[in-house]
């Protein structure tokens, strides 16, 4: 039976679009809902273009979690994917999806993770620390930012002349290549 995925995103939504297209092609699951916490997030435009229902919840609704949980249940969501989602997931939503909610982080956790560490901030920190490699971490979501059990990590080199933008490009390539495949493997285990 086809599984229903919800994607939580706060920004541009390139990962959300990549995941939606991947599963449209594969047919093993479908992105049935996109949720955001920002009314101006471009992911809403992507959802519209992909004909995927999308909802935006305000700060109070996210803090409460009940409206979010009701939306997930109304769309019969089996699995939740965070893709550039910058808010904390409420406990009641987390508890409704044990081992069925994943996040992606643009570094090799536990390095360069935690609240406030996202996007260019991560890449700047990697470069400032003189790291020789970076990458992505796909992990289960829990009550703490970027501290859930690691599922997979994929690496890329940090080059001597890297800027945050050039490093980000390699990290994004890893995200696009691996996140949908990892999600698919987790769905097959459900």
> CB within 8 A of 74, min separation 6: which ones?
none
- CA–CA distance, 63 with 116 (Å, rounded to integer): 18
Check the annotation: does 13 bind a ligand: yes
Task: Look up 105 and say whether it is catalytic.
Answer: yes
Closest CA to 49 of 82, 7, 16: 16
Q: Is 18 annotated as a binding residue?
A: no
**Among 135, 75, 62, residue whose Cα is nearest residue 105:** 135
Among 75, 95, 105, 144, the one annotated catalytic: 105
Q: Rounded distance, CA 47 to CA 34, Å? A: 7
**Contact at 8 Å (CB) between 65 and 91?**
yes
Q: Is 59 annotated as a binding residue?
A: yes
Q: Is 103 annotated among the ligand-binding residues?
A: yes
Question: Is 4 known to sit in a ligand binding site?
Answer: no
Interior angle at CA 187, CA 186 and CA 188, nearest 5: 90
Sheet strands side by side (includes 133-140):
54-56, 29-36, 3-8, 79-82, 101-105, 133-140, 150-157
Annotated binding site for (6R)-10-formyltetrahydrofolate: 59, 103
Annotated binding site: 13-15, 59, 103
Instruction: List residues with catalytic annotation.
Output: 105
């Amino acid at each position: 039976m086809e599984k229903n995925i919800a994607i939580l995103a706060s920004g541009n939504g390139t990962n959300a679009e990549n995941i939606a297209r991947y599963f449209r092609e594969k047919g093993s699951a479908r992105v049935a809902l996109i949720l955001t916490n920002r009314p101006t997030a471009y992911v809403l435009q992507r959802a519209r273009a992909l004909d995927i229902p999308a909802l935006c919840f305000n700060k109070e609704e996210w803090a409460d979690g009940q409206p979010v949980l009701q939306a997930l249940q109304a769309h019969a969501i089996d699995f939740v994917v965070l893709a550039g989602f910058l808010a904390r997931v409420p406990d009641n939503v987390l508890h409704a999806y044990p081992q069925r909610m994943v996040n992606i982080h643009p570094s090799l956790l536990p390095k360069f993770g935690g609240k406030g560490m996202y996007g260019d901030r991560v890449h700047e920190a990697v470069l400032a620390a003189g790291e020789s490699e970076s990458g992505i971490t796909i992990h289960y979501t829990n009550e703490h930012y970027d501290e859930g059990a690691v599922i997979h990590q994929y690496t890329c080199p940090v080059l001597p002349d890297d800027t945050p933008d050039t490093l980000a490009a390699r990290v994004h390539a890893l995200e696009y290549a691996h996140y949908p495949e990892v999600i698919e493997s987790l769905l097959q285990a459900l």
